[in-house]
Amino acid sequence: MNIKAEIHNQLGSDIVASSVAAIAKYPSPIVMVDMGTATSLSLIVGSVYEGCIIMPGLALALDALSERAAALPPISIETASPVGLMGHTTEEAMRSGVLYGHASMVDGMLERIEESIGQSVTTVATGGNAPRILRYCKRPIQYDADLIMTGLYLLYQKNAKKYRKA
């Protein structure tokens, strides 16, 4: 994998491993959506990592709401899904805003990425929050829970061959 972006020395090992797996498993161009503490969308064309977009994850968004807006209580994203789009309590409204808002943010960014490169992308999601968010996305997004582990295995295989020859 070639890393075109200036961030090559800052790119996390989790993103590198997941990108290696995505390249091996999915047709190009690929947008890999990693939904953890932060949500990142990485664009991979062929075997080239073109760059990424980084946004706050679900917990960070909820924490920011409760810490910065005095009237909003701290809530957990783990407790319950929103009853519907429009919340009927403060907690429901916060959950709805964060979950539907996050899904809309991912859908919107994918649309912008496709517009910027002039073609549709294969989208694969991974990370602890992906199952929670993907059900609210309008776009088809493949969920791959083991993407990082697959990438680590592929990197291990590549490096093991190199050291066996030495």
d(CA 140, CA 160): 36
1 pLDDT exceeds 90? no
Torsion sign (Cα): 44, 4, 8, 10 = negative
Q: What is the CATH number of the domain that holds 72?
A: 3.30.420.40
What is the spatial order of strands in the sheet that 2-3 belongs to?
2-3, 48-56, 38-45, 30-35, 122-126, 142-143
Residue 113 CB: number of other CB atoms within 10 A?
20
45 DSSP β-pair partners = 48
Give 80-133 pLDDT, tens digit per residue: 677 788 988 888 888 889 999 999 999 999 999 999 999 999 999 999 999 999
2-53, pLDDT tens digit by residue? 777 666 677 888 999 999 999 999 999 999 999 999 999 999 999 999 999 9
Highest mean pLDDT among 74-78, 119-123, 153-157: 119-123
Q: Is residue 39 part of a domain?
A: yes
* Identified catalytic residue from 14, 34, 63, 144: 14
The answer as to whether 116 is a domain residue is: yes
pLDDT at 165: 66
Q: Is residue 138 part of a domain?
A: yes
Whether 161 is in a domain gets the answer no
The partner residues of 50 in beta bridges, in order of sequence, read none
Give the mean model confidence (pLDDT) for residues 69-73. Answer: 84
Angular region, 51: left φ>0, alpha ψ -120 to 50, beta rest: left
What's the rounded mean pLDDT across residues 128-150? 96
Rounded to whole angstroms, the Cα distance separating 128 from 34 reads 9
Is residue 107 part of the annotated active site? The answer reads no
> Is 160 within a domain?
no
Would 158 be classed as within a structural domain? no
Q: Residue 91: its pLDDT value, please?
A: 87
26, 70, 96, 159 from 88: Cα distances, Å:
41, 19, 10, 55
pTM for this entry? 0.88
Domain extent for 105 = 2-151
Residue 67: pLDDT band (50, 70, 90) is: confident
Number of separate domains in the chain:
1
pLDDT at 160: 85
Distance in angstroms (rounded) separating the CA atoms of residues 70 and 107: 30
Structural domain contains residue 129? yes
In a domain, 157, yes or no: no
